[in-house]
Amino acid sequence: MSKIKIATTKYPVLDIIKKRWSARAFSDKQIPEEELHTLFEAASWAASANNEQPWQYMYAHKGTPGFDTIANSLLPGNQPWAKNAAVLIVAIARKTFEANNSVNAYSIHDLGMANAHLLLQAHAFDIYCHTMAGFDKVKLAEEIKLSENQEAVCVIAAGFLAVAETLQEPFKIRELTGRKRKNINEFTFKL
Ligand SMILES: Cc1cc2nc3c(=O)[nH]c(=O)nc-3n(C[C@H](O)[C@H](O)[C@H](O)COP(=O)(O)O)c2cc1C
CA distance 164 to 1: 10
Which residues, in sequence order, are CB contacts of 46 under 8 Å at separation 6+?
A: 55, 110, 113, 114, 116, 117
- Counting ligand 1 atoms within 8 A of each CB, the residue from 132, 172, 173, 176 with the most, and so the one to mutate, is 132
Which residue ranges make up each domain of the chain? 25-186
Q: What is the pLDDT of residue 3?
A: 87
Topology (CATH) of 25-186: NADH Oxidase (3.40.109)
Q: Are 157 and 167 in contact (CB under 8 A)?
A: no
- Cα 30 to middle of ligand 1, angstroms: 23
* Separation in Å, CA 178 to CA 3, 5, 12, 18, 122: 9, 5, 19, 12, 20
Q: What is the pLDDT of residue 1?
A: 56
* Separation in Å, CA 21 to CA 2, 63, 119, 177: 11, 25, 9, 11
Name the closest-CA residue to atom 4, ligand 1: 132
pLDDT tens across the length of the chain (191 residues)? 568 999 999 999 999 999 999 999 999 999 999 999 999 999 999 999 999 999 999 999 999 999 999 999 999 999 999 999 999 999 999 999 999 999 999 999 999 999 999 999 999 999 999 999 999 999 999 999 999 999 999 999 999 999 999 999 999 999 999 999 999 999 999 99
Q: What is the pLDDT of residue 2?
A: 65
- Counting ligand 1 atoms within 8 A of each CB, the residue from 1, 5, 16, 22 with the most, and so the one to mutate, is 22
CA distance 129 to 158: 4
Residue 40: CB atoms within 10 Å? 16
- Cα 22 to middle of ligand 1, angstroms: 7
Q: What is the pLDDT of residue 129?
A: 98
CA distance 168 to 76: 13
- Counting ligand 1 atoms within 8 A of each CB, the residue from 118, 131, 168, 173 with the most, and so the one to mutate, is 131
Closest CA to 31 of 122, 151, 136: 122
